[in-house]
Amino acid sequence: MARDIEKKIFKTIKKYKNIVIARHIGPDPDAIASQIALRDSIQLTFPNKNVIAVGMTVAKFKKFGLLDKSDYENFKDALLIITDVPTLERVDGIENLNYQEIIKIDHHPCSTKVADLEYIDDSASSACQLITELILNTPLKINQNIANNLFLGVVSDSDRFLISYTSVKTFKIITRLLEETKIDFISLYDKLYERPMNEIKFHGYLCENLIYNDNGLAYIHISPEILKKYDVDVATPSNMINDFNYIKDVLVWTFITYDEKNEVYKVNIRSRGPIINEIAAKYNGGGHKFASGARIYQESDIELFIKDLDNLCKEYQKNS
Ligand code: AMP
């Protein structure tokens, strides 16, 4: 049965002719899958509406479906729906959009209100978990393709149900999704997990060169030369950070990758105990308690950042 917030979201969607769906910059499979699944579901339910999913195209995510051109000429007074993103500054592709109302559907913690209607559950495994509930609990329609995307978004963001945000609710909604859509979920894993050999070799480089200490901190600096050597891009380390979970004696691990084009160090941080998003926020970042990201602009701040994480691990060890 639909909850109040789901009924309100459905009613608002019904009201608008033009709808734009956006997600965060530097998208991951959950961000892309949630926006595309919601677009396709609204379009399937209301064929006369104009619904577009916007943001920068990422070649390797084309398998989730294609994004639309953010040509806003015909999108006057639109409804903007943002998924998997807590703040408007991190929304990709809405410059020049003239919108009337905003709906936010997200699982990141956020203390400030940015939308007219907010469906936030920071205990949810993924944005796709929330979109699945929304679709299954309201008259929004679903087909195999939409179900495939939703399933992959949940699997990816929960890291195959390994991450602590996975709950009974996650399994219940996935069970409902599988029962109601009969998707062949095993056949979908190639879309998430198939990798070219150069990425496997790069993964080997990360394993060999990760620095770790007695406090439970592991880190690595990844230079543009190394990215070139392995023929991988600046987003590749983000896809590998979760693979370093469950290393005995490692509590917090971080990759610091220099993005030459944008002249910034892109930072991925993960944890198996200490809460890291406050440190991420100190370095132009944010995210979840145990999965965060940051941006470091000065090389000299890297040392301070590592020191902060090291102290966090030390404190955590002392208190546990
Ligand atoms: P990543 O390490 O890029 O997979 O990001 C982990 C989590 O942190 C995701 O939920 C991101 O949305 C969030 N995140 C990453 N970078 C930033 C940032 N610069 N500011 C706020 N949140 C971020």
Q: What is the pLDDT of residues 205-218, one digit of tens each?
A: 999 999 999 999 99
Q: Which residue segments constitute the domains of the chain, with CATH numbers given?
A: 2-192 (3.90.1640.10), 198-319 (3.10.310.30)
Confidence of residue 268 (pLDDT cuts 50, 70, 90): very high
| d(CA 294, ligand 1 centre) in Å | 7
Please report the pLDDT score of residue 42 as a whole number.
98
Q: Is the CB of 288 under 6 A from ligand 1?
A: yes
| d(CA 27, ligand 1 centre) in Å | 9
pLDDT digit string, tens, across residues 17-70: 999 999 999 999 999 999 999 999 999 999 999 999 999 999 989 999 999 998
Q: Is the CB of 24 under 6 A from ligand 1?
A: yes
| d(CA 291, ligand 1 centre) in Å | 7
Listed residue (69, 64, 29) closest to 160, CA to CA: 29
Residues with Cβ within 8 Å of 55's Cβ and at least 6 positions away in sequence, in order, are: 22, 23, 25, 27, 35, 67, 70, 92, 93
Q: Give me 114's structure tokens.
A: 């940015």
- Of 25, 292, 295, 296, the one to substitute when testing ligand 1's pocket (max ligand atoms within 8 A of C-beta) is 292
Q: Is the CB of 191 under 6 A from ligand 1?
A: no
Nearest CA residue ID for atom 9, ligand 1:
287
| d(CA 117, ligand 1 centre) in Å | 23
pLDDT at 3 over 80: yes
Please report the pLDDT score of residue 73 as a whole number.
87
Listed residue (230, 210, 6) closest to 118, CA to CA: 6
For residue 41, count other CB atoms closer than 10 A to its CB.
25
Nearest CA residue ID for atom 16, ligand 1:
293
Please report the pLDDT score of residue 103 as a whole number.
98
pLDDT at 170 over 80: yes
Please report the pLDDT score of residue 37 as a whole number.
98
| d(CA 196, ligand 1 centre) in Å | 25
Nearest CA residue ID for atom 10, ligand 1:
287
Q: Is the CB of 237 under 6 A from ligand 1?
A: no
SS3 content of the chain, % helix, strand, coil (to 5): 45, 20, 35
Nearest CA residue ID for atom 18, ligand 1:
285
Burial of 116 by CB count in 10 Å (0-12 exposed, 13-18 middle, 19+ buried)? middle
The C-alpha angle 286, 239, 256, rounded to 5 degrees, equals: 55
Mean pLDDT of 235-241: 95
Work out which ligand 1 atom sits closest to the CA atom of 108.
Answer: 10
Mean pLDDT of 272-293: 97
Strands 291-296 and 78-83: unpaired
Work out which ligand 1 atom sits closest to the CA atom of 294.
Answer: 19
Nearest CA residue ID for atom 5, ligand 1:
293
Mean pLDDT of 200-204: 98
Mean pLDDT of 225-254: 96
Q: Is the CB of 294 under 6 A from ligand 1?
A: yes
| d(CA 22, ligand 1 centre) in Å | 16
Listed residue (93, 121, 125, 116) closest to 106, CA to CA: 121
Nearest CA residue ID for atom 11, ligand 1:
287
User: Distance between CA 262 and CA 291 in Å, rounded?
Assistant: 23
Q: Is the CB of 234 under 6 A from ligand 1?
A: no
Average confidence score pLDDT of the chain: 96
| d(CA 288, ligand 1 centre) in Å | 8
Burial of 168 by CB count in 10 Å (0-12 exposed, 13-18 middle, 19+ buried)? exposed
Mean pLDDT of 105-115: 95
pLDDT digit string, tens, across residues 56-84: 999 989 999 999 998 898 888 999 999 99
